[in-house]
Amino acid sequence: MFSIKPSDVRKLLITFLIISTVGLVNAQQISSNITRDSILKIFEKAQSDINKVNLLNELTLVISRSDMPNNLMQYASEALLISQKERYQKGIGISYYAMGFYNYAKKNHIDALSNLTQAQIQFDAIADKQNGGRCKYLTANILFDKGDYAGSIKNCTDALQLWQSSKYKTLIGACCNDLALFMPEWVTTAKVWSMLTKDLRLRKK
């Protein structure tokens, strides 16, 4: 009689879960790439108006550091000129956010933080909590890369509060996952600092 050991069942389940997860991630990546390419095609043919600026905003929602368009800074500069001409405050914020994302991807952290500060000012002025939260979230990731774990946790928490108050759910899951990543690094750094300062105090005695 054919029988399956419990350990074999567990192995099969684990293998199935891994395959399913990898397949889901790949499918999401393919879908994101299709959306990105579609927006880029429309953006490049669009007239220089507010609609083009809003397309840039849609583009920043679907790109990542690994698939960022090389011309993103050029697109952002064009969008900024349009927004300033039309006095479109949200568009000014969108443009600075895109610049910040570009500099983040290029690891120009100081420029990225400066861009995001400018974007945050615009979004706060019009009470745009969704995009204001995105600025905070990207700032959190930059500060994490710089080793400022306390700052990254604060900005990530601020982003969550903005999104929850505006009922924006798209990035809440990702933000919570990042908080779980940031926290151990901050705790470890805090413990090391505590040990170092304690050692210094003992040496002074």
Please indicate, yes or no, whether residues 107 and 51 belong to a single structural domain of this protein: yes
Domain residues for the domain of 44 are 36-126
CB atoms closer than 10 angstroms to residue 36: 19
- Residue 150 within any structural domain of the chain: yes
Q: Rounded to 5 degrees, what are φ and ψ at 120?
A: -60, -40
Please indicate, yes or no, whether residues 91 and 138 belong to a single structural domain of this protein: no
- From first to last of its 205 residues, the chain has per-residue pLDDT tens of 445 454 554 544 444 444 443 343 333 444 456 688 899 999 889 999 999 999 999 999 999 888 899 999 999 999 999 999 999 999 999 999 999 999 999 999 999 999 999 999 999 999 999 999 999 999 999 999 998 988 998 999 999 999 999 888 888 888 888 787 777 665 554 443 444 344 444 445 4
* Rounded Cα gap, residues 16 and 18, in angstroms: 5
Please indicate, yes or no, whether residues 42 and 122 belong to a single structural domain of this protein: yes
* Rounded Cα gap, residues 142 and 125, in angstroms: 23
